[in-house]
Amino acid sequence: MTIRAVLFDIDGTLLVTGGAGAVAWQRAFRELHGIDANIAEHTHAGMTDPEIAEIVFREVIGRDGSAEERAQAIAGYLGHLQAAVEESDGYRVMPGIEEILPRLAGEGVLLGLVTGNIEAAAHIKLARADLNRFFAFGGYGSDSRDRTELTRQGIERGGEVSGAPLDPAATIGVGDTPRDVSACHGAGIRVVGVATGSYTVAEQQAAGADWAIVDVTDGFPV
């Protein structure tokens, strides 16, 4: 079936920030709690932002933060994120992304996001490369800490934008981790696993990706 909608993950799939997210979290926890939190030591690729805040409280501070404290941490993270992204020397867009997005949009394919980033963080990360302009909808970590559920939310919003529910058979996701693969399958759509993050083509295949490719220049199905 012709693909009518494509939902992209952000980190490791569309771009990498060169560690800007970890820097922003670290600055937020230092400012609020006087500690240095090395996010990379406590989290894994594909986690949602609310999960990250919860884990840092539990594993670094040593207690479960209250809902108010976690909200403060997320607000602090957002407050530092734009500067961290702008300062990052390691920020880069993944191979082929700047070519494939305008091509898909020009062919009438509906483009959306499915990401563990809370919505504001997603758009801060995309803005440096001027990629926000391609995405009409999304499912975000601010919708749910469960990636399958936020993917369902993204698919539902795609239907609202297009004026009719998205056909799962004509909708695919694109991600760089096994969490992306399982989330898309859990939401009832096929998924392209790209090896532009921490996982190889073979690992994407083992995770069950319907297509496992090096990057979007390597046999993208649309």
Q: Is residue 40 pLDDT above 80, yes or no?
A: no
Q: Is residue 164 pLDDT above 90, yes or no?
A: yes
What is the Cα–Cα distance from 193 to 157, expressed in whole angstroms?
Answer: 22
Q: Work out how many domains the chain is built from and give that number.
A: 2
Q: Is residue 64 pLDDT above 90, yes or no?
A: no
Q: How confident is the model at residue 66 (pLDDT cuts 50, 70, 90)?
A: confident
| The one-letter amino acid at 120 | A
Residue at a domain's end among 87, 107, 132: 87
Check whether residue 105 and residue 132 sit in a common domain.
yes
What is the Cα–Cα distance from 120 to 170, expressed in whole angstroms?
Answer: 28
Only one residue has tokens 């004026």, namely 163
Six-digit token pair at 186?
């859990």
The CATH number of residue 195's host domain is 3.40.50.1000
The CATH number of residue 62's host domain is 1.10.150
What is the percent of the chain where pLDDT is above 70?
96
**pLDDT tens column, 190-201:** 999 999 999 999
Check whether residue 12 and residue 34 sit in a common domain.
no
Residue at a domain's end among 87, 110, 139: 87
Q: Which of 22-36, 165-179, 206-220 has the lowest mean pLDDT?
A: 22-36
DSSP state letter for 208: T
Q: How confident is the model at residue 172 (pLDDT cuts 50, 70, 90)?
A: very high
Task: Give residue 49's pLDDT.
Answer: 79
Q: Is residue 31 pLDDT above 90, yes or no?
A: no
- Residues 156-181 have a mean pLDDT of 97
Q: How confident is the model at residue 46 (pLDDT cuts 50, 70, 90)?
A: low
| Containing structural domain, residue 153 | 5-17+92-213
Check whether residue 78 and residue 102 sit in a common domain.
no
